[in-house]
Structure formats: C-alpha cells, structure tokens
Chain A
Amino acid sequence: MLRIELYKIFSRPRTYISFAVITAITFIIQLAMYVDGSSFVEFAIQGVGDQFDIQGRVLNGYLITYLILQSLLVQVPLLIALVAGDVLAGEANMGTLRLLLTKPISRTKVVWVKFVSSLVYALALLLWLAIIGLGASVLIFGTGDLINLKSDAFIMLLEDDVLWRYGAALAFAALAMATVAALSVFMSAFADNSVGPIIGTMGVIVVLTIFTNLELPLFNLVKPYLFTTHMVAWKGFFDVPVPYEAIAQSAIVLTIYIIGFVVATMVVFNKKDILS
C-alpha cells in the first residue's frame, strides 16, 4: 500500500513544483552571491569588521549553504503542506476515499501509510535541498571556514569542523519536516478538498513563526511549547559549544508533536463518517 501511495504522490505534477521551487530559489541565491556576494559579506560582518580585520575566503560554499538553508527551511514546510495536505482530503475530493476503505485495511493503517508516504516526500525534498544547496554551492564556491552570525555572537567554524554539522542539521531538519507533514495530514483528515488543509497548515506555520520571532514577554511564555520554536534547532549545530541538551529537548518536543498529530489523525479518521 505504501508503494501505491508513493506512486500516487510522485506521479502528480504538483509534487515536482516543490522541487522546482527549491531549485529556483537555490539558484537565485547562488547567482546573487556569485555576482555580488562580497558586498553582502561586507554588510553582514560590518559589526565585527569595524573592530577586526577579517581576511580570507569568507564567501564560500559552506556559507552559501547556510544562507540557503536559512531561507528555505522557512519555505519548505509550505511546500510539504502542498502534498501532505492532499493525501486524505485529495482522496475525498476525488471520491476515491470510500473505495480505498472498502479494502481490508484498517483506517489506522491508512492514516499511517498516508503519513509515511508524506514523510518520504518531505525527506526527498530535504535530500534534494542538500544536493543542490550544499553540493552545488561547494562545487561553485569551494569550501572554507564558516562564519555564522547570531544576534549576539560572531561564530567561526574551521573548514574541517563544518561538514558533520550539516549532516546533523539536515537530520534534525528531517524531524522538523516530519512535524509539518504530520500536521498537514492531520488537517487533511478534516477536509473534503485539499485547499483547506494546505492553506490551514501554511496559516498555522506562519502565525506560530511570527509568535516565535516576536520578542514580546507575552509570547515568551508560550514559545517553549510551539513547535515552530523548535523547528530551527538545526541551527544549534552551528553554535559553539553545540547546545546538545537544548537540541535534544527540541527533538523531544517535535517528536511529541508528531506522535500527537498522527494519533489525533487516526482518532479523527476512525470516527469520521466517510461520505465521498
């Protein structure tokens, strides 16, 4: 059944829109950096550059990859919603859901397979991002030491200390994308057409991201409980020292969200009166 679901996902043209969007954004960032990257670097490090002379290849493939990940890991959840929000609602919309449930498969298994197939799609998207983000950037710009700017810190990582961090960051990003996939599938269980779950997922992510990024005392109270706060924990792997404890805590929170969304979807879907 998983194979069929994967076939359904990867045979739709819509699926490849996401890959095209990621390719286009990555290419635009790489082109912009290739043409005028030095001005960007000068602007970015001016706070430190006023006091220190920074020489060498600051603009390298590792820095470009970081910028691409920073930009895209905000957009990728929306692209995941495009497919994952459709898995149940799309079937309902096309009138194939009732047919599917006539087979000797439990509704719980249907939800589980739909979630896993969405997850595979999300991971494929992430893998593609790694290939064209990291691979192409390193090919074009070469490798080098990585400068990472936080709001209150200037972090420099030596070239031979960077690659494992990308591996770990992408692994964590997979967990974050799994959360988005689980949310989309959950939303999908309520609707009979895919527009609602897709826009609903996007809306939830956008609103919670605003909550996460606004520095207001009221929001600070709820921030630790929002999954969007923990989705950016991949950045922790580029800190010194790596805040493993906080990253592990973020991983636990995201896992709880994933389990919660999947179980909730199963409950809702099992109780749902399928009319289409």
Chain B
Amino acid sequence: MRSMFRYYVLVILLLMQSISYAQQQDVDSAQYLFNELKAKLDRVEDYTADVRVNIDVSFMKVPPLAGKLYFKAPDKMKLERKGGISILPKKNMSLALNTVFPEGDITIIDAGNDVLDGTPVKVIKIVPHNDVAGIVLTKVWVDKERLLALRTETTTRDNGTVKMDLDFGKYANLALPDKVTVYVDVKEFKIPKGVTMDYDAGTAGKMEAPKDDGKRKKGKISINYLQYNVNAGLADSVFDENE
C-alpha cells in the first residue's frame, strides 16, 4: 500500500514538473514574447515628446534639430519645429516600433538567443505573408526580462535594410525609448554641377570635394527623447501637412 502511495506521489510530481516546464517553454516562446511586446506597445495610443534629432548622413549637412515629435497609433508621426523645417526618415517607418511590425497575417520564427550589451535577448523573426506595406522581414531583439525591443532590423522592398537600436530609461514601463538610433541605407545624391553652379572650394582653394563611389551608403539618425506626454489624446489634424 505504501509503495503504491509513493508511486502516485512520484507520478504527480513528474506531472507537475512537466506542466511547469511546458509553461516556461510557452513563456520563452517567440510567439508569446511577440504578443506580450505588441500588447505593451499597443497601450500607448499617442504621445508628444520633446526631441533632439541628429542626422549623420554623408551627403547631408543638417544641424541638430530640436522639436516636438507627435505620434498617434498606429502610424502617424510628425516632427514640428516651430515653423522650421523637419527631416525624418521616409514614412517615419523606422521611428515607431508599432510601424516596424508588419500588419496582417504574419509568421513568427524563433531565431535563437543573443546578447546585446550584456543583456540576454531573444531574437524573433517576423515574416509577413504579403509585403503590402513594403516590409519583407523584421527581426526583433527582445529583452525577455523587461519585455522591451532593444534592436530591430527591418528589410524593406524599396528602401533597403533599416536597423534601429533603442535605449530605455524612465519610460521603459511603457516601452517608450529615451534614445533611438536608426541606421538606414541611403542612395547616392547627385545633381549636375551645371545646374547647381557650385563654388568648388577644391578647385578654388586647397579643399578637396568629397569622393563618391556611387554605392548605397549607411546613414545614422539619432533621436533623443527628452520628455514624453503619453495618451493625452491627439487630434488627427495635428498630422495634416499644410506646407
């Protein structure tokens, strides 16, 4: 009788362990992490943030731009500079995480584990079943502990690959970064000299004009978010382009 009891206890214990293991497996799964991350991002419906944008692209000479960034889910974004000119990556697709995730039917693939600046992360691949939005593949490096995307890599049909690094601070609970660094592929920029009638300092003086090999080049755009105002309710009219 006693041996029978022991046998039952052992079976129950084994059963509980396997259930716990299965649950742990589920929590670690790519699909679970993606769902949780998406749910966390969806909590932010809109925000206004004071930002400072630095553009580091070989052919662009743009000073640091301070302004106000407006975002409204799912994909509206605008940088306002009190009447000044604002420059953001095309379609703003690379600045808001929500827009990096492809819409519609998708397949989530577990791409293994990695370490980013000492933080263990799970790498998730998101493959859309159609590329209507121009996104072919998105890779996300997710901090499992804090449920934050620390890096994304989006391969687009027309605009090459856009990589984004995110640093989080006091707004981490809302998955809103303190700093976003976007790495983009940029095409060569050329206008005939006969049109621009350049003053060629290289010809006139000793300065050499920058050399260009005609290939795609990497550009870097850094956005420092100084302060957020989240879910205050932004009207669509804020995003109307009137200039």
Q: Measuring CB to CB, which residues of chain A are less than 8 angstroms from any residue of chain B?
A: 47-48, 50-58, 70, 74, 144-145, 147, 149-159, 161, 213, 215, 220, 223-224, 229-230, 232-236, 239-240, 243, 245-247, 249-250, 253
Given A47-B191, A55-B243, are A243 and B205 neighbors across the interface (CB < 8 Å)?
yes
Query: Is there an interface contact between A156 and B205, defined as CB atoms closer than 8 Å?
Result: no
Query: Is there an interface contact between A55 and B198, defined as CB atoms closer than 8 Å?
Result: no
Query: Is there an interface contact between B196 and A150, defined as CB atoms closer than 8 Å?
Result: yes
Query: Is there an interface contact between A55 and B78, defined as CB atoms closer than 8 Å?
Result: yes
Given A144-B85, A224-B203, are A57 and B243 neighbors across the interface (CB < 8 Å)?
yes
Q: Measuring CB to CB, which residues of chain B are less than 8 angstroms from any residue of chain A?
A: 59-63, 78-79, 81, 83-92, 159, 184, 186-187, 189-207, 209-210, 212, 241, 243
Given A232-B197, A246-B205, A246-B207, are A47 and B190 neighbors across the interface (CB < 8 Å)?
yes
Given A47-B190, A52-B87, A246-B204, are A151 and B198 neighbors across the interface (CB < 8 Å)?
yes
Bound complex: CA of A154 vs CA of B86, how far in Å? Answer: 14
Chain B residues lying within 8 Å of A157, measured Cβ to Cβ, are 63
Q: Within the complex, which residue of B62, B63, B79 is in contact with A55, where a contact is CB–CB below 8 Å? A: B79
7 extra A-B contacts, CB within 8 A, seeds A213-B197, A239-B199:
A47-B189, A51-B186, A52-B89, A52-B90, A55-B78, A55-B241, A58-B243
Query: Is there an interface contact between B189 and A153, defined as CB atoms closer than 8 Å?
Result: yes
Query: Is there an interface contact between A56 and B81, defined as CB atoms closer than 8 Å?
Result: yes
7 residue pairs bridging A and B, Cβ less than 8 Å apart:
A48-B60, A52-B89, A152-B59, A153-B59, A156-B63, A157-B63, A223-B203
From residue B89, how far is it (CB to closest CB) to chain A in Å?
6
Chain B residues lying within 8 Å of A147, measured Cβ to Cβ, are 85
Given A48-B189, A51-B187, A152-B212, are A158 and B84 neighbors across the interface (CB < 8 Å)?
yes
Bound complex: CA of A48 vs CA of B210, how far in Å? Answer: 18
